[in-house]
Structure 1
Amino acid sequence: EAVAINGTEHFSVASHHWSCSAAPIRDADGTIIGVIDISCMADQRHPFMLGMASTVAYAIEREIQVQQKRKEMELISHCLQQVEADEPYVVCNEKKQIVLASKPIRDRFSDWYGMDVELLMDDTFVTRDKQIIQSEQDGKMLGMSFSFEEAAKSNITVSFAQFPGESGTSTVFQQTLSKIKRAAQTDANVYIWGETGTGKELAARAIHLASERHEGPFIAVNCGAIPESLLESELFGYAEGAFTGAKRHGAKGKFEQAQKGTLFLDEIGEIPYAMQVALLRVIEERKVVPLGGTHEIPLDIRIITATHRNMNELLKEDKIREDLYYRLHVYPINIPPLRERKEDIVDLYRYYQKKHQWNAAFPESFFRKLEAYHWPGNIRELFNLFEHIRVLFPKGGWIGESQYAAVLEAMDQKKQKLHLPEYTENPKELTLRERIQKQTVIDALHKTKGHVSEAARSAGVP
């Protein structure tokens, strides 16, 4: 938001002689693309400076919107003839948002305008032709057009018949499933990210089972759980006599064990920076040399990686090498947290019930209470709750509210602890600098989900 900081209100002592008024500039979808700042010596500040900065920012935003509309109109005028055809056809802007669609698309998707074109490239359609559209005035790219054709339904059933989980009904997870299905049809490196407990390994296993490599091994490695000193021998293997305590005939590493199959590297961001160089070489060359060995072993594997954080954040924090990032971040898939797909809780319960052959039935109010909870531990926490109730009632049957109330009461207490009411202080008791420091610490704790040492590093405080 627009803000004015005067003199000693500045955090930095070096800026105490300045008065600064600034306002953000946003594009049409609300993304901040710049800031207008007016600065002068503190004793020369004017009361209208903040208003001037806000007015200029607003004028720039309006001009950007006008330019975007002009580009959109030029883009649409290029493709009016093609869109009249009875074939699936869309035109999208530079951000891959649909701005024009043919009748088959409009009939099938009521919210087609502004939709990401990637959402169409699932089971429903396959791309037949793609063209870049350039402006006649300056030759710059205006957008793209896509011609589609219906995907063969029979192929979909064969390629994704073995999904090892519950697909649910939520829109957000159906989009994720579509991405998983597309990934399974190729051999590209896939990167999966999502909060702890969302089912990243399950998604990786689904890609493996639905791919052409499904008859090969699926080797999962938690990179954060292996000590740094053992990581190289664990991944690449070692030759006989490579180090003290090595097995007599050496040992195969995880890369070699995954031959003709899929290697799943979970928490890839935990791999030490120096080790990433060796990992990059193996990924690029598809050859591995065991520790203490001299001969290269060719690899025929698919690599899927995962982290609980977006890899873009790891790149900004220098926790992952840029060259390794581009090798692994080929096809990213986000697994949504359970709080964004609460309508799937009933389906997840049925899956748990079937898996454990537990014949238990609950009233509708039970699932309503589950949907009211925020699930910081995601599906893992949900299944732990079911496990808790199953221990109490192993034979199942009808479980009424009076029977499961104690279990949910413990969950409610946990919810209250995680969401304590904010303590409202008198603003006069804290200086502006202290309030900024306090907010920085709170934001850092929220960002790291309460991990204190990570929050301290993020906020730059001891």
Structure 2
Amino acid sequence: MPPAGSHVDVIGQAHARSLQVGLRASETPDFQPLPSAALRELVERNRSLYTHALPVMETLHAQIVDTQSMVLLTNQHGVILHSLGDSDFIEKANRVALCPGVSWSETDRGTNAIGTALVDSEPTIVHADEHFLRANHFITCSCAPIADPFGRTIGALDVSGDARGFHKHTLALVRMSAQMIENHLFANQFADAVRIRFHARAEFVGTLFEGLAAFAPDGMLLSANRSALFQLGGQLAALARQPFAALFGMPFAALLQHVARTPSECITLTLPSGVKVIARGEFAGARPGPVSVASATSVAAPPPSTAAARRADAITLASLDTGDARMAAVLRRVDKVRGRDIPMLVLGKTGTGKEWLARAIHEDSPRRSAPFVAVNCASLPDTLIEAELFGYEDGAFTGAKKRGGTGKIVQADGGTLFLDEIGDMPLAQQVRLMRVLQERVVVPLGGTRAIPVDLRVICATHRNLREMIAAGTFREDLYYRINGLVVTLPALAERTDLAVLVARILERQRLADATEATPLRVSPGVFALFERCRWPGNLRQLTNVLRTAGVMAEGEAQIELEHLPDDFLHDCEAAPDGVHAAAGIAEAVAEAGASNVPPDATQDETPPRMQDWQASLIDSTLARHGGNVSAAARELGLARNTVYRHLRRREGG
């Protein structure tokens, strides 16, 4: 049975409200669902809630399947937007209009879990004859309100089922599921903020029960989820715009530096109550500029606001010319249209630097002082691309910002809009984008006023758009609108400027980290291994490998094989020409000056001879480390399993 005590008061007060609005327990009011078109429009207005709730609803339904019940999602007024349930119970539920398009507010249905939870803003159970209308006595309902990232109720999640199958744990499942939806909404709302995940117990960091707090670049609190507010001991209205240092006892700049150096490591912070919490920070979007703890106060200084803050390491066309002939040819073609708003299409495999090129084009154009806005069409759900690109008016989405949301196209007004992975844009949005490019105006979702825009559009993709046109998945008219100039970036494995790229990336990372501890070079052995790598992730992979290795090698003169991440070494195992990566690593060590390499081992040897040389190198390294497999593997840059396989082969032979 449902809990006693205060629950009785909740039901009693709800019944009193039902009587006050003129409902009679015996009546069965006419609850005709909204027409299909009106329901679709309502769902569209609640698109953000619907999108983030749907996968959670499916998971929740899987937990209660075959229990004569269903999962329901409503808007803030109690109108059901979506339902999932057992087919036999859905038939019973339809008899009392427990279905999409019907309002289950208290004023329409009397006391019920959905309506009462929305009135009280608290998770609620209404069981059997606790329902005001007798027609609903055969069901039991457990409902939890859903709040947006600013604490405003935007909907509710409910499980309703046959009253004979009531289970006291159902409400706990519903509450956790609602919290999951709220956390998803929080992460989406503050995609470009600095976020903190924290809890007094380390094992809860990264779970549903963690506190989430988002901070602006100046270190002021933007918002916090329910768990964070509970731990901080205050309401959002009182805590909003509080500095990070006042809430967590550490200068904001110090946190930023910690996250930049060791992004995966937790840190201990102190709440205003004196309670210690374990926290993990993350740069959710574009990371803040370099910070120095030595010059930091309790609140980090705001970033420079003028064009004078244009950094010395800005990406330009000249900075991308690093000596590769194919890349130089691309840059020459791009340079010919410098300052002209000719649309550009950048082709190339994933990670080849398409966004770098787009930023360089913007930086070397008359638009450089205006915004550069990048949108990855592949990273957004189909249902969110439209709002993200074109924006939305106030009320277009429940829980939206008071003045609506400015789309990326309008944000790029006067500057450059970069649409990465344009081949992943849904057809419906391709039509709207085509209209924007033709007419140079944008009409936000839910609006009627056309907003003029002046921008340059650069698109990029790794897909074959001509094949997509033939398959009917990409519009031909849009293709010819965006490909004024088409250039193709070479894969990293095809480039001849690897040494310059490595040096440039390390220098850029050192500037970003604002520390002299990051090495500015790699050892000859590491570079020899880099030359043999296929680099399936291209420049993005090289950048990530150097970022990790640079952190591991802080304070060292150069990056050595032991500083490279293990997964990179595994990626190199399928080396060209059938030569095992371990042979390449062995050569790398030889080139680094390993004295134990046989003098007759040359690069001209056949693979069998190479294997003999590799075996000799592993044996001598093991001997030097007293048979310690882990130490030998680290020096050679091999996985331990590779050394163990060598030992098994040697013992068997």
Q: Give the conservation status (yes or no) of the 8 Å contact 1:166–1:347.
A: no
Alpha-carbon deviation of 1:410?
A: 5.9
Alpha-carbon deviation of 1:270?
A: 0.9
Query: What is the match of residue 503 of structure 2?
Result: 350
Q: Kindly, what percent of the aligned residue pairs are identical? A: 39
Query: What is the match of residue 68 of structure 1?
Result: none
Query: What is the match of residue 395 of structure 1?
Result: 555
Alpha-carbon deviation of 1:233?
A: 1.4
Q: Give the conservation status (yes or no) of the 8 Å contact 2:376–2:421.
A: yes
Equivalent residue in structure 1 for 2:532, among 372, 375, 395: 372
Alpha-carbon deviation of 1:179?
A: 2.1
Matches within 5 A, 1:54-203: 162-163=316-317, 165-203=319-357
Equivalent residue in structure 2 for 1:296, among 440, 445, 450: 450
Is 1:224 the counterpart of 2:378? The answer is yes
Q: Secondary structure at the match of 1:379?
A: helix
Is 1:385 the counterpart of 2:545? The answer is yes
Instruction: Tell me the distance in 2 between the aligned counterparts of 1:383 and 1:173.
Output: 18
**Cα deviation 1:393-449 (Å, max 9, x = unaligned):** 1013145xxx41573886454233587969xxxxxxxxxxxxxxxxxxxxxxxxxxx
Instruction: Tell me the distance in 2 between the aligned counterparts of 1:332 and 1:308.
Output: 13
Q: Secondary structure at the match of 2:444?
A: coil
Query: What is the match of residue 491 of structure 2?
Result: 337
Q: Give the conservation status (yes or no) of the 8 Å contact 1:200–1:306.
A: yes
**Cα deviation 1:304-353 (Å, max 9, x = unaligned):** 11111232233233221111111112111111110110x21111111122
Query: Does 1 or 2 have the higher relative contact order (CA < 8 Å, sep 6+)?
Result: 1
Instruction: Tell me the distance in 1 between the aligned counterparts of 2:578 and 2:519.
Output: 40
Query: What is the match of residue 590 of structure 2?
Result: none
Name structure 1 gaps, 5 residues minimum. 1-159, 423-462
Name structure 2 gaps, 5 residues minimum. 1-313, 511-517, 580-653
Alpha-carbon deviation of 1:245?
A: 2.3
Alpha-carbon deviation of 1:198?
A: 0.8
Query: What is the match of residue 366 of structure 2?
Result: 212
**Cα deviation 1:236-268 (Å, max 9, x = unaligned):** 111122232232211211111111111111111
Change (3 A) 1:223 1:361: closer
TM-score normalised over the length of structure 1: 0.52
Q: Give the conservation status (yes or no) of the 8 Å contact 2:549–2:563.
A: no
Is 1:320 the counterpart of 2:474? The answer is yes
Is 1:416 the counterpart of 2:538? The answer is no
Larger Rg: 2
Q: Give the conservation status (yes or no) of the 8 Å contact 2:316–2:361.
A: no
Q: Secondary structure at the match of 1:252?
A: coil
Q: Secondary structure at the match of 2:564?
A: helix
Larger CA deviation: 357-366 vs 300-309: 357-366
Instruction: Tell me the distance in 2 between the aligned counterparts of 1:304 and 1:214.
Output: 14
Matches within 5 A, 1:232-251: 232-251=386-405
Alpha-carbon deviation of 1:275?
A: 2.0
Segments ≥4 residues shifted beyond 6 Å: 418-422
Change (3 A) 1:419 1:408: farther
**Cα deviation 1:155-210 (Å, max 9, x = unaligned):** xxxxx994484421111111111122223331011111111111111100111111
Instruction: Tell me the distance in 2 between the aligned counterparts of 1:360 and 1:188.
Output: 38
**Cα deviation 1:272-326 (Å, max 9, x = unaligned):** 1122111111111101111111111111111111111232233233221111111
**Cα deviation 1:114-155 (Å, max 9, x = unaligned):** xxxxxxxxxxxxxxxxxxxxxxxxxxxxxxxxxxxxxxxxxx
Equivalent residue in structure 2 for 1:404, among 549, 552, 561: 561
Instruction: Name the amino acid aligned to 2:489.
Output: I
Q: Give the conservation status (yes or no) of the 8 Å contact 2:392–2:444.
A: yes
Q: Give the conservation status (yes or no) of the 8 Å contact 2:377–2:422.
A: yes
Change (3 A) 1:376 1:292: same
Query: What is the match of residue 143 of structure 1?
Result: none
Change (3 A) 1:278 1:411: closer
Instruction: Name the amino acid aligned to 2:436.
Output: V
Q: Secondary structure at the match of 2:337?
A: helix
Change (3 A) 1:164 1:313: farther
Instruction: Name the amino acid aligned to 1:201.
Output: E
**Cα deviation 1:373-399 (Å, max 9, x = unaligned):** 111110111122222321221013145
Instruction: Name the amino acid aligned to 1:385.
Output: V
Q: Give the conservation status (yes or no) of the 8 Å contact 2:415–2:454.
A: yes
Q: Secondary structure at the match of 2:531?
A: helix
Q: Secondary structure at the match of 2:555?
A: coil
Instruction: Name the amino acid aligned to 1:291.
Output: L
Instruction: Tell me the distance in 2 between the aligned counterparts of 1:377 and 1:395.
Output: 28
Instruction: Tell me the distance in 2 between the aligned counterparts of 1:280 and 1:256.
Output: 15
Instruction: Name the amino acid aligned to 2:334.
Output: I
Instruction: Tell me the distance in 1 between the aligned counterparts of 2:442 and 2:565.
Output: 51
Instruction: Name the amino acid aligned to 2:446.
Output: G
Instruction: Name the amino acid aligned to 2:417.
Output: L
Q: Give the conservation status (yes or no) of the 8 Å contact 1:197–1:380.
A: yes
Alpha-carbon deviation of 1:354?
A: 1.5
Q: Quick check: which one's strand share is greater?
A: 1
Change (3 A) 1:291 1:355: same
